[in-house]
């Protein structure tokens, strides 16, 4: 196994322990629905961390050993100048947050408004963009990523609203919890 794989496995081990010790008992008490939806969101966010920030724990001692590059604040500069694989990056950033826009309203009715999905998608994306260059000197942050993540969250929310009755019916069949939505 490579060193990087071991470092990433350490991060996942911490996420698993955190889930078992903190979140599972709390969500389990609330019922099958809360356990299923919150666990699904936890797994999704764990993979978001994997693709955007990991390894994290192994790099903590070195976060101040490299210069912190400020966020590029010129939207779509890579597109404008045709740099790199910008279309792939845009597509992946949109795709990454579509599940967030679908799942967030399912967690609690207080998240069922578009404004809440936009706010929390923005906060998720901003957090990732701020942490990327801090955790790794080879990573950068970009306003385009925040914009495309927001677009993904909004698309996810639209999908949720379009298919809300179907999504809830499928969840009811899967979970069989009387306290469901």
Whole-number CA gyration radius for the chain: 18
Match 């490579």 to its residue by tokens: 2
Q: How far is CA 8 from CA 41, 43, 46, in A?
A: 20, 15, 11
Residue-range definition of the domain harbouring residue 128: 3-175
How many domains are there within the chain? 1
pLDDT digits (tens, 9 = 90+) for 98-152: 999 999 999 999 999 999 999 999 999 999 999 999 998 888 899 999 999 999 9
162 pLDDT above the threshold of 70? yes
* CA-closest candidate to residue 60, choices 105, 25, 10: 10
Phi, psi of 2 (to 5 degrees): -75, 160
pLDDT digits (tens, 9 = 90+) for 61-99: 988 888 888 898 999 988 888 777 889 999 999 999 999
75 occurs within a structural domain: yes
* CA-closest candidate to residue 14, choices 55, 62, 44: 55
pLDDT digits (tens, 9 = 90+) for 14-36: 999 999 999 999 999 999 999 99
Q: Which residues of 124-152 are buried (b: 16+ CB within 10 A; e: fewer)?
A: bbbebbebbbbbbeeeebbbbbbbbbbbb
53 pLDDT above the threshold of 90? yes
123 occurs within a structural domain: yes
- Residue 63 has what pLDDT? 87
Q: How far is CA 136 from CA 29, 50, 52, 69, 110, in A?
A: 38, 13, 11, 10, 35
181 occurs within a structural domain: no
Q: What is the DSSP letter of 70?
A: P
180 occurs within a structural domain: no
């Amino acid at each position: 196994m490579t060193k990087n794989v071991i470092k990433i496995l350490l991060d996942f081990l911490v996420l698993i322990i955190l889930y078992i010790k903190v979140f599972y008992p709390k969500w389990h008490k609330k019922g099958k629905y809360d356990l299923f939806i919150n666990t699904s969101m936890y797994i999704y966010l764990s993979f978001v961390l994997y693709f955007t920030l990991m390894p994290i724990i192994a790099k903590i001692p070195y976060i101040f050993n490299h210069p912190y590059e400020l966020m590029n604040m010129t939207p779509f500069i890579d597109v404008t100048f045709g740099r790199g694989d910008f279309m792939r990056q845009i597509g992946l950033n949109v795709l990454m947050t579509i599940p967030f826009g679908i799942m967030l309203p399912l967690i609690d009715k207080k998240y069922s408004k578009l404004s809440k999905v936009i706010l929390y998608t923005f906060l998720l994306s901003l957090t990732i963009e701020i942490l990327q260059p801090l955790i790794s000197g080879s990573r950068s942050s970009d306003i385009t990523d925040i914009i495309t993540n927001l677009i993904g969250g909004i698309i996810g929310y639209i999908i949720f609203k379009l298919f809300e009755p179907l999504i809830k019916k499928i969840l009811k069949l899967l979970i069989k919890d009387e306290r469901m939505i």
